[in-house]
Amino acid sequence: MKTELTRMLGIKHPIIQAGMGPFSNNHLAAAAANAGVLGLHSTSGIGFGAVGGIHEHFVKTAGADMEDDHPTIL
């Protein structure tokens, strides 16, 4: 199904897997994204110390600029 939303987000299906507190994690978000929908990761339960690792992972997987600060990317 092609809609303005699917084109804007670059997804196959207009479905969003929402963050669900501590139950959705990177594995669920990745599986959703690999299925062609928008997968989201909940930050519930993630401490501030995890921000650096999330930033580094996003830079590697999304091609972001490592020089961008965390708030810009995240």
What pLDDT, in 10s, does the model give residues 23-68?
A: 777 778 888 888 888 888 777 777 777 777 777 777 777 666 777 6
Q: What is the pTM of this model?
A: 0.52
Report the alpha-carbon distance of residue 25 to residue 41 in Å, rounded.
6
Residues 53 and 30 in one domain: no
**For residue 39, what are the β-bridge partners?**
17
Question: Which tokens sit at 28?
Answer: 């669920």
Kindly state whether residues 57 and 36 are assigned to the same domain.
no
Same domain, 67 and 34: no
Range in 4-13, 14-23, 64-73 with the lowest mean pLDDT? 64-73
Tally of CA atoms within 13 A in the half-sphere of 7 that contains its CB: 3
Instruction: With a cut of 60, say whether residue 70 has pLDDT above it.
Output: no
Domain hosting 24: range is 1-42
Is the CB of residue 32 less than 8 Å from the CB of residue 39?
yes
